[in-house]
Structure 1
Amino acid sequence: MNVKSILGIVLTLVGLIGLIYGGIDFTKGGVSQASFVYVIMGGIFFFAGVGLIRSTRA
């Protein structure tokens, strides 16, 4: 495994955790600015990680 693949996996996991945490916050009725930040940043990290994994696979 090279460094790009490992970084892609880490970004994907961090993004997934952010999306899950934001979703849990939404379901608890806490629709605040922090919930939107978790979901948006989680989505950015998740899709960046998936794109990085896709681009490094040969």
Structure 2
Amino acid sequence: MNLKRIFGTLLTILGIGGLIYTAVLFSSTSGEMSSIKSLIIYGILGVVFFASGISLIRTTKDEA
């Protein structure tokens, strides 16, 4: 397994975790300003990590 694929998998897992944490915060939010900021920050980081991880996995070629 290539090192880039391992790093891509790690980024993807972190992204999924960030998106799940955002969903948990969203379900328990009651409108405070600090929780809205947290939702935005964790949501954006989750999307960025997930997208970069998937992109890294897709563009890495397999070596025979």
Normalising to structure 2: TM-score of the pair? 0.83
Q: Does 1:56 align with 2:63?
A: no
Aligned length: 58
Unaligned 5+ runs, structure 1 = none
Q: Does 1:41 align with 2:45?
A: yes
C-alpha displacement of 1:54 = 0.4
Normalising to structure 1: TM-score of the pair? 0.91
% of aligned pairs identical?
Answer: 40
**Inter-partner Cα distance in structure 2 for 1:57 and 1:45:** 20
The structure that has the greater radius of gyration is 2
C-alpha displacement of 1:29 = 1.8
C-alpha displacement of 1:12 = 0.1
User: Which 4+ runs in 1 deviate beyond 4 A?
Assistant: none
Q: Does 1:26 align with 2:26?
A: yes
Unaligned 5+ runs, structure 2 = none
String of CA shifts for 1:7-34, please: whole Å, max 9, x gaps.
0000000000000001110111255101
**Inter-partner Cα distance in structure 2 for 1:37 and 1:46:** 14
